[in-house]
């Protein structure tokens, strides 16, 4: 999209309105995530949203109308413009001397720590099932890290195993042999044999029907103690969103945290962690065993999905749904009596706009509701 105001005017607006910063994560330690953006109003009433991105090394700007419907991204890629905006935004948010932690390392460590506490080797099945490709993954990938550090055996379905350490990874059914649907998941569970009993099930991103496949796996008898699943955070709680068709763009694949919690709670899983694009769910039997064995024994109620979303590192898909805009919805209208309906309306409008360019015969299937 073309810039809807000149770069000089853009910088002037940003510099003239330094008091407009909106910090939505004041309750978090800045060493975890800044989550900072601000809104600058134009004289005509439309809005300019400025956000720190890429580990606080850059600034992105998006335009929104007076109803806060996304118009599009504003091109601020010019080096001079970036430098001026970045200096301003870091100063506004008090981050001139702050360094963002490594995201990949944090993601892997978060899930590895949870696994270490709750799955002692004496009670471990020693298996991890990865649904999704690992061929081009790095060593810090959560699935690869768990297999390496805990002596697990891994199997990859609907993708290729990593080229390194072939002795610890088996090749399961390839992507071409799996129907990414509820029925396909049921069939896959039957094909897995003993691998339908695992410590960890990891549902990766890049699979258009992953959440329906997950439902099918559980219906088909797959048993896991921990589920790490890709979560589409473009749809904040309490929105229930799930993609149903392979024609969906990447930004509409997977399902929302609230939908994922709905389908896993009935199977006995409790939400424990949301970090980056993945949510971790632990089976209630495991929590009971841990308490009885003198472990950490989590006896507290399931983590609230709203609190989990508020305090987590949320990843988005640029430029379809800038995640900073989505979080502005979540925090900006949370106190409104009609907050849920308002978020649903805005999300539906943006999804409709995103798929409107597709031919009628290729309109993708999805569910979006409260």
Instruction: Name 288's Cβ contacts closer than 8 Å, sequence gap at least 6.
Output: none
26: helix, strand or coil: coil
**Mean pLDDT value across the chain:** 76
Please, what is the Cα angle at 305 between 304 and 310, to 5 degrees? 100
How confident is the model at residue 69, as a pLDDT? 79
| Domains of the chain, CATH where assigned | 1-101 (no CATH), 103-310 (3.40.50)
Query: Are 234 and 316 contacting, i.e. CB atoms less than 8 angstroms apart?
Result: yes
Compute the Cα dihedral for 70, 74, 77, 82 and give only its sign.
negative
For residue 13, name the pLDDT band (cuts at 50, 70, 90): low
Q: Which residue has the higher pLDDT, 61 or 3?
A: 61
Nearest CA among 302, 164, 317 for reference residue 249: 317
The mean pLDDT value for 202-211 works out to 89
pTM of the model: 0.69
Distance (Å, rounded) from C-alpha 143 to C-alpha 138? 10
Q: Is the peptide bond before 238 cis (omega within 30 degrees of 0)?
A: yes
* In the chain, alpha helices (H): 7-16, 79-92, 103-118, 142-150, 182-191, 210-219, 257-265, 284-292, 305-310, 323-332, 339-355
The mean pLDDT value for 168-178 works out to 93
How confident is the model at residue 130, as a pLDDT? 96
Pairing of strands 36-41, 21-23: antiparallel
Distance (Å, rounded) from C-alpha 327 to C-alpha 35? 9
The first and second tokens of residue 150, run together, are 């805990």
161: helix, strand or coil: coil
Instruction: Name 365's Cβ contacts closer than 8 Å, sequence gap at least 6.
Output: 243, 244, 245
For residue 127, name the pLDDT band (cuts at 50, 70, 90): very high
């Amino acid at each position: 999209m073309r810039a809807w105001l000149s770069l000089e005017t853009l910088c002037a607006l940003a510099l003239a309105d330094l008091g407009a910063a909106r910090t939505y994560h004041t309750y978090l330690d800045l060493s975890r995530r800044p989550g900072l953006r601000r809104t600058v109003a134009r004289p005509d009433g439309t809005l300019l949203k400025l956000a720190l991105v890429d580990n606080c090394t850059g600034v992105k700007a998006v335009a929104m109308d007076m109803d806060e419907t996304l118009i599009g991204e504003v091109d601020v890629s010019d080096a001079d413009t970036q430098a001026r905006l970045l200096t301003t935004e870091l100063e506004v948010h008090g981050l001139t001397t702050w360094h963002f932690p490594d995201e990949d390392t944090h993601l892997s460590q978060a899930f590895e720590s949870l696994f270490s506490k709750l799955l002692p080797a004496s009670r471990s099945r020693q298996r991890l099932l990865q649904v999704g490709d690992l061929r081009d993954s790095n060593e810090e990938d959560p699935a690869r890290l768990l297999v390496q550090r805990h002596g697990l055996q891994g199997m990859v379905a609907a993708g290729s195993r990593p080229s390194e350490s072939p002795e610890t990874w088996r090749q399961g059914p390839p992507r071409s042999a799996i129907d990414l649907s509820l029925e396909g998941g049921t069939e896959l569970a039957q094909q897995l044999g003993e691998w339908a009993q695992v410590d960890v099930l990891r549902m990766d991103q890049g699979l258009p029907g992953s959440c329906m496949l997950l439902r099918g796996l559980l219906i088909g008898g797959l048993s896991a103690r921990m589920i790490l699943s890709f979560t589409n955070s473009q749809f904040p709680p309490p929105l229930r969103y799930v993609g149903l068709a392979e024609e969906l763009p990447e930004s509409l694949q997977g399902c929302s945290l609230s939908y994922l919690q709905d389908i896993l709670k009935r199977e006995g899983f409790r939400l424990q962690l949301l970090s980056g694009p993945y949510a971790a769910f632990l089976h209630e039997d495991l929590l009971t065993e841990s308490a009885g064995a003198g472990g950490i024994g989590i006896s507290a109620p399931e983590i609230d999905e709203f609190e989990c979303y508020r305090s987590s590192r949320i990843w988005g898909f640029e430029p379809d749904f800038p995640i900073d805009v989505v979080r502005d919805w979540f925090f900006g209208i949370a106190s409104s009596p009609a907050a849920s309906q308002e978020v649903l309306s805005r999300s539906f409008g943006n999804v409709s706009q995103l798929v409107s360019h597709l031919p009628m015969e290729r309109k993708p299937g999805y569910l979006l509701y409260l």
